[in-house]
Amino acid sequence: MSMFPELRPRRLRRTANLRRMVRETTLSTDHLISAMFVRHGQGVERPIASMPGHAQLSVDMAVREARQLAELNIPAVILFGIPDEKDATGTENYNPEGIVPQAIRAIKEAVPELVVISDMCCCEYTTHGHCGIINTPDAPCYNPRLPEGYLLNDETLDILRQASVVHAEAGADIIAPSGMIDGMVEAIRYALDEEGFTDTIIMSYAAKFSSGFYGPFRDAAESPPSFGDRSEYQMDPPNLREALREVEMDVDEGADIVMVKPALPYLDIIRQVRENFDLPIAAYQVSGEFSMIKAAAAQGWIDEQRVALESLYAIRRAGADMIITYFAKEIARWLKS
């Protein structure tokens, strides 16, 4: 018997090219979706303090950003709108001249090959910051049997139907309902098909958790709830079986792509969804994940490029086919170099 090991896995790690040859998980620009926050105005680029390198953009600046994404071979962008005016029902969301429809039309005209995803929710457009119509005594749909402040599910579906058709008419390739409203996929699919948008894709935020990692996004989208939180409709973080049930429901309702959000703290959910469903899976590396890496790197505590890439490889390894990430442009440049 030899006194030395016969099996030496380290042989395959000796050089960079050897490691490339046996790498099990790939990451390329094909897997990236960038995010963009759009607002009214001209020449507007308002930096988001809690998300270094990102800004709220007017439509003309969003077009410039879209061209840069296309040059970096990033295939898709997801849009979030910041309206000038908000109301109780999020009227701007289904206004054909609203900020997101304007941005969709401009981007598709300038960069037609870029896939444009419309985040479909009400939180950015409502005065109360919640993801739908709230049960209040002065609301025309007030239900005295439900508590005040409760989000009215079916009444909210009516808004999502209207807004999804408006955004599809503007040219959105994908509608991405994100409010965790029961029946949202079926309602949107029916509305799109009825209006002839049978090829418009639905990417459902199928398992979206009520997470503490969303803080910087609420600065970016100016959408913090004015009372309470969203745990009444977003998922409870400890629950895995419920997440699989939510995904199954959205698949049955006609979702083309299902999403898990957040990503890195929920890799087990991504893995379970991958093992149980054959649809493409998206994962959202959310603002808190992004900003923590940025903050630690700014202090010199970590290597930003190395940690960002490592986190995306983990999300891919868990089973995600595509990743919404605020690192998209940086990742594309790093991969190229």
Apex 88 CA angle, 118 and 124, nearest 5: 30
**pLDDT bucket at 219, cuts 50 / 70 / 90:** confident
Is 294 among the catalytic positions? no
pLDDT beyond 70 at 36: yes
Q: Which residue has the tokens 């093992």?
A: 275
Q: Which of 86, 108, 261, 329 is catalytic?
A: 261
Q: Which residue has the higher pLDDT, 4 or 83?
A: 83
The beta strands (E) that lie in the chain are given as 32-39, 45-47, 55-57, 76-82, 115-120, 133-134, 151-152, 174-177, 201-208, 257-261, 281-285, 322-325
Q: Is 261 a known active-site residue?
A: yes
Percent of the chain at pLDDT > 90 equals 85
**b vs e for 161-182, b when ≥16 Cβ sit within 10 Å of the residue's Cβ?**
bebbbbbbbbbbbbbbbbbbbe
Q: DSSP state, 73?
A: T
**8 Å CB contact between 274 and 319:** yes
**Rounded to whole angstroms, what are the CA distances from 218 to 106, 203, 222, 261?**
25, 21, 5, 15
Residue 315: half-sphere exposure toward Cβ, Cα within 13 Å: 31
DSSP 177-191: E-S--TTHHHHHHHH
CA 10 to chain CA centroid, Å, is 39
As a whole number, the mean pLDDT across the chain is: 95
Q: Tens digit of pLDDT for each residue in 202-212?
A: 999 999 999 99
SS3 (DSSP) at 192 = helix
Quote the tokens at residue 289: 């994940």
Confidence of residue 26 (pLDDT cuts 50, 70, 90): very high
Angle at 188 between CA 67 and CA 108, to 5 degrees: 15
In CATH terms, the fold of domain 28-336 is TIM Barrel (3.20.20)
Residue 2: predicted pLDDT: 63
pLDDT tens digits, 78-112: 999 999 999 988 999 999 999 999 999 999 999 99
DSSP label at residue 236: P
| Kind of pairing between the strands at 151-152 and 133-134 | antiparallel
Mean pLDDT in residue range 159-174: 98
Q: SS3 of 244, please?
A: helix
Residue 138 has pLDDT above 90, yes or no: no
Mean pLDDT of 304-330: 98
Asked if residue 1 has pLDDT above 70, the reply is no
Per-residue pLDDT at 316: 98
Give residue limits of the domains in the chain.
28-336
Contacts of 146 (CB under 8 A, 6+ apart): 135, 152
Range in 85-94, 186-195, 216-225, 311-320 with the lowest mean pLDDT: 216-225
Arithmetic mean of pLDDT, 50-67: 97
pLDDT surpassing 60 at residue 335: yes
**Which residue among 86, 208, 294, 329 is the active-site one?**
208
List of residues 6+ apart from 80 with CB closer than 8 A? 35, 36, 37, 38, 100, 119, 124, 220, 221
> Average pLDDT for residues 145-168, to the nearest whole number?
94
Q: Are strands 281-285 and 322-325 parallel, antiparallel or unpaired?
A: parallel
Q: Is 0.85 surpassed by the pTM of this model?
A: yes
